[in-house]
Amino acid sequence: MNVILTVENLKKHFEVPGGNLHAVDGISFSIKKGETFGVVGESGCGKSTLGRTIIHIHQPTSGRIYFENEDITFISGRQCRDLLRRMQFIFQDPYSSLNPRMTVIDIIMEPLLIDGMKKKDARQRASNLMEMVGLSKAFETSYPHELDGGRRQRIGIARALALEPKLIICDEPVSALDVSIQAQILNLLLELQEELKLTYIFITHDLSVVKHISDRVMVMYLGNMVELAETKELFRNPLHPYTKALLSAVPSINIDEKQKREILHGEIASPINPMPGCRFAARCKHVTEICKTDDPKLMEVKAGHFVACHNI
């Protein structure tokens, strides 16, 4: 399979009182066409910032981003507009990401009209997109506040599909929805991927969701990648202590299964002007002296399974 996106040593730092916040701090990976690439981690680990930096909502501090073999790291406004025809974003909150003063059909038409499509053709395209994502024609003249969360997110998906992108970054697209609605949206995304040959970056903190939808999973902690593997391999054989703790917190539907929680203790390191060493060291029961002084390098411990830990 061909690689559609390559990220090399990507960094995104924000100036804050007291120094620089290292939201994304040296992330590297590649994604193949048609793949769903999961990104997981605690709130504040930098996963949403990573997605927003890739699509240039945030400008990168350093590193390189290649999309379809084109260097898109530092591009002009016109180039960014061209990029958005091929790469789109689905936001976490399906209400705040929609204009409350626009009807459903107008929201979906907007990117088409901006792109230069005639209004009649844009309306027909938007109507077709509504049908594609499971929205009744009766909702064309409705406003976002008149719809439930699931239908609002379907509007966001339809809008993201309007310009026929090849890659869609899904930033926790089901976290604000009820569990039954989550399943509907996830199944819709899988059906659209199959039908339209889409590639997804799927950002979430819900490990049960990422297990269901992803081909590979990257685990982030305080701006760093700590582990990357195929989904089945990661859930069967987690290697990094942080990944093990995350997976131990996933509830089981088997009431007879005895679960052993790995409780994390210690203070979370500050992402502002971080000191050298492993950022997980203060919470790790396997910590050694080298963990406190040297940054762990990402190593391939077996085919396709990467981990950044001094004790592997």
DSSP string, 263-281: ---SPPPPSBSPPSS-TTG
Instruction: Provide the token pair at 124.
Output: 């027909």
List helix spans (H) across the chain: 47-54, 77-83, 104-114, 119-132, 149-161, 179-196, 207-213, 231-236, 241-248, 289-293
To which CATH superfamily is domain 3-86+165-237 assigned? P-loop containing nucleotide triphosphate hydrolases (3.40.50.300)
The 3-state DSSP class for residue 22 equals strand
- The pLDDT value given to residue 257: 62
How do the pLDDT tens digits run along the chain, 312 residues long?
599 999 999 999 999 998 999 999 999 999 999 999 999 998 889 999 999 999 999 999 999 999 999 999 998 878 888 888 899 999 888 788 899 999 999 999 999 999 999 999 999 999 999 999 999 999 999 999 999 989 999 999 999 999 999 999 999 998 878 888 898 999 999 999 999 999 999 999 888 889 989 999 999 999 999 999 999 999 999 999 999 999 887 766 665 666 677 778 888 888 999 989 999 998 998 899 999 999 999 999 999 999 999 988
Q: How far is CA 288 from the centre of its chain?
A: 32
- The pLDDT value given to residue 277: 92
- The pLDDT value given to residue 30: 97
Judge contact between 203 and 172, C-beta under 8 A. Answer: yes
What's the rounded Cα separation, in Å, for the pair 21 and 16?
Answer: 6
Q: Where are the domains of the chain?
A: 3-86+165-237
- The pLDDT value given to residue 267: 84
Look up tokens 């053709």; give the residue.
121
- The pLDDT value given to residue 1: 58
Judge contact between 3 and 32, C-beta under 8 A. Answer: yes
